[in-house]
Structure 1
Amino acid sequence: MQTTAETPVTPSAPRHVQVLIFDDVEVLDFAGPFEVFGVTGLRTGPAPFRVETVGLSKAPIRARNGLEVRPSTSIDEATRCDVLVLPGGFGTRREMHNATLLHWIRRQARAAEAVLSVCTGALLLARAGLLDGLDATTHHVAFDELAQASPSTNILRGARYVDNGHIVTSAGISAGIDASLHVVAKLLGHAVAVETAEYMEYDWHTQHNERKQTSTSSR
């Protein structure tokens, strides 16, 4: 369900946000959205989101440049979520061929209110078949890879993020913060997202196409 600034929604229980992490994940790809959802409502309370990280197992992962992170839970034990975040990084080139993970992504996405990919996390959505026939974006160095993974996807080159309603895809790395704030606005209203950005002292790019867009599709 989408909301506007005029119709903010405050659920009786916090929405459950799951952020996937894996070896060679880009740090800001997962840490940026984790921070956005984690600090939303911090000054006004109660917290509207409950955020956790999900790994392929509960073993620590080594993110980009060797940062070690221990997941909150694993894909085998994770319950359904309201918001699913799929970050990118070099590890996506390996995990996009992980059939078990792709099955989990499909299952979680079906039940989620919103799905967000950051950077090359779009490759995971593409390989899961969730971007077929949709507009999408990713890190600019991965446009060709996304086209190969999902030939029917219309790639918006230069878009900061792309909103398909249920699925939001963002450009590279820092764009995931903008897209996360956009998801906050969709779920809780624009004013809440603005307050969150101000708390983070972040200059939020509220327009999807901050840069010039050109589309690429095999359709």
Structure 2
Amino acid sequence: MDQVCLARKVAIVVFNQIEALDFTGPFEVFLTSSGGGKDFQIYTVAPDEGPVTVLGGLSINPAYTIHNCPPPDLIIVPGGPGARTEMNNSALTDWIAQTAATAELVLSVCTGALILAKTGLLEDLNITTHHRALEELKAAAPASAVIIADKRYVDNGKIILSAGVSAGIDMSLYVVGRLLGADRAQLTATLMEYNYNSI
């Protein structure tokens, strides 16, 4: 009897003054690689009810809040100027920490790493962020974490962090490859017409 393979739920955290490509890049990767929703179901999650204003003025309507979100298999925490506010939002950081306990993977893009730094999840890990925020991350992260400044993303097993903005696309393609195979990652990059180097 064939086992039914349920689609992994991918929750992308959004908040005011988020960097657009930090969340839309991973959204596009997981959507394109989802097999029409068979392998991934992607949704946005905000700290509170109501629209979110993206850096530059774009307004989006999150599908859920942290109070009613379906339990995700993957959590993606993007960055942007608003991350410096949300890193001090204990309701959000507590939700990420609690939800990470049952999630398969936790990913950050750019200064989303500052938010992860406040969750208690980065002890003894290799970490990275946007090159202009490395010192901020060093100050916010546990002393046991090691800053990696020369990689597009770093894989710690369950927790994967990427450098700035477009690096989130590379990380997401890498994760697709890890979960569904290198051929799926390359096909996704080809469909996106994205020059992906899986290093």
TM-score band, normalised by the shorter chain? over 0.9
Percent of matched pairs sharing the same residue = 46
Indicate the residue corresponding to 2:67 in structure 1: 76
Q: Does the Cα contact within 8 Å between 1:118 and 1:172 map onto a contact in 2? A: yes
Find the residue that maps to 2:56 and give its secondary structure: helix
Indicate the residue corresponding to 1:40 in structure 2: 33
Supply the distance in 2 between the matched residues of 1:61 and 1:46 (Cα, whole angstroms): 25
Find the residue that maps to 1:157 and give its secondary structure: coil
State the Cα RMSD in Å. Answer: 1.3
Which of 115, 130, 135 is 1:124 aligned to? 115
Kindly state the Cα deviation for residue 133 of structure 1 after the two structures are TM-superposed.
Answer: 1.1
- Deviation per residue, 1:110-160 (Å, 9 max, x gap): 111111100000111111111111001100011111111112210011211
Q: Does the Cα contact within 8 Å between 1:136 and 1:169 map onto a contact in 2? A: yes
> What residue identity is the alignment partner of 1:129?
G
Indicate the residue corresponding to 1:100 in structure 2: 91
Supply the distance in 2 between the matched residues of 1:179 and 1:205 (Cα, whole angstroms): 10
Supply the distance in 2 between the matched residues of 1:57 and 1:30 (Cα, whole angstroms): 17
Indicate the residue corresponding to 2:196 in structure 1: 204
> What residue identity is the alignment partner of 1:131?
L
Supply the distance in 2 between the matched residues of 1:136 and 1:166 (Cα, whole angstroms): 13
Q: Superposition pairs for residues 1-219 of structure 1, below 5 Å?
A: 12-42=5-35, 45=36, 47-150=38-141, 151-207=143-199
Q: Does the Cα contact within 8 Å between 2:73 and 2:104 map onto a contact in 1? A: yes
Supply the distance in 2 between the matched residues of 1:152 and 1:124 (Cα, whole angstroms): 17
Quick one: higher RCO (CA 8 Å, sep 6+), 1 or 2? Answer: 1
Find the residue that maps to 1:142 and give its secondary structure: helix
> What residue identity is the alignment partner of 2:69?
A
Q: Does the Cα contact within 8 Å between 1:24 and 1:63 map onto a contact in 2? A: yes
Kindly state the Cα deviation for residue 47 of structure 1 after the two structures are TM-superposed.
Answer: 2.7
Q: Does the Cα contact within 8 Å between 1:41 and 1:196 map onto a contact in 2? A: no
Supply the distance in 1 between the matched residues of 2:39 and 2:59 (Cα, whole angstroms): 28
Supply the distance in 2 between the matched residues of 1:58 and 1:194 (Cα, whole angstroms): 37
Q: Does the Cα contact within 8 Å between 1:185 and 1:192 map onto a contact in 2? A: yes
Kindly state the Cα deviation for residue 108 of structure 1 after the two structures are TM-superposed.
Answer: 1.4
Distance 1:11 1:202, change over 3 A: farther
* TM superposition score normalised by structure 2: 0.95
Supply the distance in 2 between the matched residues of 1:87 and 1:41 (Cα, whole angstroms): 20
Q: Does the Cα contact within 8 Å between 1:11 and 1:48 map onto a contact in 2? A: no
Divergent runs of 4+, >6 A = none
Kindly state the Cα deviation for residue 11 of structure 1 after the two structures are TM-superposed.
Answer: 6.5
Find the residue that maps to 1:168 and give its secondary structure: strand
Kindly state the Cα deviation for residue 79 of structure 1 after the two structures are TM-superposed.
Answer: 2.1
Q: Does the Cα contact within 8 Å between 1:88 and 1:119 map onto a contact in 2? A: yes
